[in-house]
Structure 1
Amino acid sequence: MKNFEMCPRFEKAVDLLSKRWVALIVFVLIPGPCRFGEIESCLSNLSGKVLSDRLKELENEGIVQRTVYPEIPVRIEYSLTPKGTALAPILKEIGNWSSDWVELEAKCTS
């Protein structure tokens, strides 16, 4: 591996997807559009500020689409773009791998 050079696109993709909560947010959106509160309730220990920041990043990357419905009260939904939907098989394979290889720590009940 003397002359190994990391592909810049691969490196950027891994950097984006390895940010805390990003892959889980995408995973939550795979079944379909969700409102902010729905995403937040699916991911315990995730603050609203971090969720907001991650959704903005994903929107800027073209992975998530934010749709504002001009209703009273205003309704905002987040959904995956085709670019985001293309991540679904990757996350499914991570799920398969985790089922085979990742063990959960037993919780203390003392």
Structure 2
Amino acid sequence: MAPPTKKRAIKRLPMLPTERALKVISGRWKAVILYYLFDGPRRLSALKALMPGITQKVLIEQLREMEEHGLVSREIFAEVPARVEYSATPLGLSLEPILLALCQWGQHHADELNERERFADCIIRPRQAVHA
């Protein structure tokens, strides 16, 4: 069976913008994967090492979904053995402030429910603006 095309992937996404955005970033690991890719390209083995709780199968599935939705790009280098690197696309990088806002809201929610002591810090830090 042929892999889905971008048109087919986009047709499967909801048409309501908020629902569409949540669908594209939903999943336990997508925000974490993007966080690590915000710093630059990474190999599959490096991503796996940074996230010991994820299986390789799930990591590959999440990367493929994010690639299909334009958040991640995959580059294959003609080396022996072949080297593959994953990077956040400009569209993926545009999620950084959104993920930071979600993290901050999650902290606020934990505060409101008196669960802050068991809550982790936000892992996403605002990037310094690059001046041309």
TM-score using structure 2 length: 0.68
Q: Report how far residue 48 of structure 1 moved.
A: 0.2
The SS at the match of 1:26 is: helix
Give the stretch that moved more between structures: 35-44 or 45-54. Answer: 35-44
Partner of 2:118: 105
The structure whose RCO (Cα within 8 Å, separation 6+) is larger is 1
Q: Distance in 2 between matches of 1:23 and 1:104?
A: 22
Q: Report how far residue 96 of structure 1 moved.
A: 3.7
2:93 paired residue among 85, 88, 91: 85
Give unpaired runs (5+ residues) of structure 1. Answer: 1-6
Q: Distance in 2 between matches of 1:13 and 1:39?
A: 24
Partner of 1:94: 102
2:65 paired residue among 42, 57, 64: 57
Identity across matched positions, percent: 34
TM-score using structure 1 length: 0.80
Give unpaired runs (5+ residues) of structure 2. Answer: 1-14, 111-115, 120-132
Partner of 2:124: none
Alpha-carbon RMSD: 2.1
1:17 paired residue among 25, 36, 49: 25
Give the stretch that moved more between structures: 68-77 or 14-23. Answer: 14-23
Q: Distance in 2 between matches of 1:96 and 1:104?
A: 15
Q: Distance in 1 between matches of 2:108 and 2:67?
A: 32
Q: Runs of 4+ in structure 1 displaced over 6 angstroms?
A: none
